[in-house]
Amino acid sequence: MERMEAAFFDLDKTIISKSSSLALTRPLYRAGFVTRSQLLRGAYAQMVYLLLGADEKRMDRAKEGMLALSKGWDRAELEALIRDVLEEVVDPYIYQEALDLMALHRALGRRVFIVSSSPEEIVGPLASRLGVPDVIATRAEFEEGRYTGELEFYCYGERKGEAVREVAERDGIDLDRSYAYSDSATDLPMLEVVGNPVAVNPDRELRKVAEERGWQIRDFRRPVRMRRRLTQVPHPSPPIAAAVAAAAIGLLAAWVYLRPRLARRLAS
């Protein structure tokens, strides 16, 4: 029996052009989850992330900060907030190129996964909006509906690669024929477990590795709103459009040729 193939997509700066977790800082402030000073620190962290990308130290600081911040939060309230503001804070920043690639992989029969260090409370609803049912993400620990400030699973670095291998073994996925997409060298463990790694908007270190190893490098530059994409009327593909144009020209030529003959026949 032939094993299935899959495509594993990192989320931040691969599918969307910003940090999904940091993008929520302002809605969290409006809802009373964070203070004004925490809002400003979040805005600063977003700027640093966009300019410099992620490295292990920055990711560890972000992780510890989020754990301390979220301790005691009500999980159900947070999930409801995320569902309500998802379109506002994330939807405008989804890369058209990522959407097209995911659609292509699905059309070719591959399973598509979103694999992210962001919390599953964020990744899950976003993946659902993108039509992706399979998610591997960070899981926070909670008791009696409230976050404890600890992690059950941190989907980052080596653990991200291990999680992909575990899913592949469980579901019968052929990793040698599968694909992985990421922007950061911190995701090398995930990129290295598949036969077709792709560096997307790579940071300096990942670009260097990709060039040395001959990996494909892609630059995504077209963020698009999902609502606009879902409501767009599809244009005919080039072959179909050409055929329609040729048919129209043919009909016009036939009319020009036949019109005087028909007029003479009617006159007689």
Residue positions annotated with a catalytic role: 10, 12
Partners of 153 in beta bridges: 139
Nearest to 119 by CA among 63, 65, 187, 167: 63
Going from the C-alpha of 104 to that of each of 6, 70, 101, 109, 166, the distances in angstroms are: 12, 37, 5, 9, 25
Angle between helices 120-129 and 75-89 (to 10 degrees): 50
| b/e code 120-133 from CB counts within 10 Å (16+ = b) | bbbbbbbbebbebe
Nearest to 164 by CA among 204, 114, 207, 221: 114
- Residue at token pair 């890369």: 95
